[in-house]
């Protein structure tokens, strides 16, 4: 078997490939549903209904999509320059902690100031905290050749332990009855609800705007050009005069900042305090979303909403027919692999030898 590069790829194939791949994944996953002894049609119908079937379902899906779009963007920016940032999970927690450190209750950890001043300060602190988490691995990659995948992964564990230590000690909410939970955010720093009586908040506007901004950076700035050049071939880019090190540092700061903002926006929009389980792996799921979107910033919005819908729908479905919610994680992971293969087949054709 050998692969032969196609001369041209039609636009339709590029759009249909991921859809076909997801359909294929759902067909395969049906076997798992049968294993659990549930009717396939009803299970999938409930999954779809739970994720997208009502205003309430949509509001839950969009709420879940907010952190996923942001971590998806973080992965997109980094992967585009071939900086494999697997540390978005830790960067998200760093951002969340920074947000509470700046905007926590008076007498707790935060500062006393007008929300007009404090809110931007909180967001900047969160972005910086996330960015700093990735700066080290990026510099180690560039200066010493240390693989960033391993370092960013290991830092996730370190950050989680640091969060755990801080929630036991200095940042612990004394009124939380012994639960490891940070102090709450000052209420005037919390994000407004987008739809009354639901959980979906204005963080959605942040996520969508940031996706458009990242898209504009890719499309219309010198940095965007440099990122694409470094991603395509770092050595050739350096030869052509692209400042590779500076570009990688910029990418690290941007990617880490987006993941850090994901943490701050979760705190400000949904939880209002930091706990150790505030993210069920948003950082890792973000990688899948970036790949499903083909590293396209606007595609990240669609991929984020799709994955969020599957995760939310699985909860409803599980309650109704008893298929474990982990089916959602299987579908998301298998979709990633199927989309990779499908995308490849739009660029190459398989020839027998």
Which stretches of the chain bind another protein, using CB under 8 A?
Answer: 1-3, 32, 35-36, 84, 86, 140, 144-147, 149-151, 153-155, 157-158, 161-162, 164-165, 168-169, 284, 287-288, 291, 322-324, 326-327, 329-330, 332-334, 336-337, 340-341, 344
CB of 331 to another protein, least distance (A): 8
CB closer to another protein, 192 vs 353: 353
DSSP for residue 3? E
Q: Which residues pair with 348 in a beta bridge?
A: 5
Cβ closer to another protein: 144 or 196? 144
18 to 5, 73, 192, 229: CA distances (angstroms): 19, 18, 34, 25
Q: What tokens does 93 get?
A: 């927690």
Nearer CB in complex with another protein: 163/204:
163
Distance (Å, whole) CA 109 – CA 169: 12
**Residue 92 near residue 262 (C-beta atoms within 8 A):** yes
CA distance 261 to 253: 12
Q: Looking at the DSSP assignment, which residues form a beta bridge with residue 182? A: 172
Cβ of residue 290: shortest distance to another protein, in angstroms?
Answer: 9
| Tokens standing for residue 201 | 């908040």
Q: How far is the CB of 299 from another protein (least distance, A)?
A: 16
Query: Which residues, including other chains, have CB under 8 Å from residue 164's CB and lie 6 or more apart?
Result: 180, 276
Place of tokens 């697997």: 86
Q: How far is the CB of 1 from another protein (least distance, A)?
A: 7
C-beta closer to another protein: residue 213 or 333: 333
Both tokens assigned to 177 = 């009855």
DSSP 179: -
Residue placing its CB nearer to another protein in the complex, 129 or 295:
295
Residue nearer to another protein on the CB measure, 146 or 208: 146
């Amino acid at each position: 078997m050998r692969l032969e590069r196609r001369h041209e790829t039609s636009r339709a194939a590029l759009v249909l490939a991921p859809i076909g791949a997801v359909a294929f994944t759902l067909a395969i996953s049906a076997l798992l549903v049968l294993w659990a002894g549930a009717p396939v049609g009803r299970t999938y119908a409930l999954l779809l209904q739970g994720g997208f079937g009502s205003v309430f379902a949509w509001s839950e899906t969009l709420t879940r999509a907010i952190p996923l779009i942001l971590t998806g963007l973080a992965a997109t920016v980094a992967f585009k320059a071939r900086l494999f940032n697997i540390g978005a999970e830790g960067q998200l927690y760093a951002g969340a902690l920074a947000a509470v450190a700046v905007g926590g209750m008076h007498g707790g950890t935060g500062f006393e100031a007008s929300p007009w001043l404090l809110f931007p300060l909180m967001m900047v602190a969160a972005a910086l905290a996330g960015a700093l988490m990735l700066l080290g691995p990026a510099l180690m990659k560039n200066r010493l050749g240390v693989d960033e995948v391993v370092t960013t992964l290991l830092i996730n564990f370190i950050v989680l332990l640091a969060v755990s230590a801080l929630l036991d000690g200095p940042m612990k909410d004394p009124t939380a009855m012994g639960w490891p939970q940070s102090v709450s955010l000052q209420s005037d720093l919390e994000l407004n609800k987008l739809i009354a009586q639901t959980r979906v908040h204005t963080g959605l506007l942040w996520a969508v705007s940031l996706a458009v901004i990242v898209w504009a950076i890719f499309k219309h700035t010198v940095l965007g050009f440099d990122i694409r050049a470094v991603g395509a071939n770092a050595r050739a880019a350096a030869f052509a005069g692209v400042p590779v090190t500076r570009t990688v540092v910029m990418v690290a700061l941007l990617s880490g900042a987006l993941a850090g903002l994901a943490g701050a926006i979760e705190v400000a929009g949904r939880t209002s305090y930091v706990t150790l389980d505030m993210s069920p792996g948003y950082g890792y799921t973000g990688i899948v979303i970036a790949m499903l979107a083909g590293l396209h910033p606007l595609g990240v919005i669609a991929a984020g909403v799709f994955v969020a819908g599957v995760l939310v729908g699985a909860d409803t479905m599980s309650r109704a027919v008893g298929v474990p919610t982990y089916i959602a994680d299987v579908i998301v992971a298998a979709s990633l692999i199927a989309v990779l293969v499908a995308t490849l087949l739009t660029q190459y054709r398989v020839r027998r030898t």
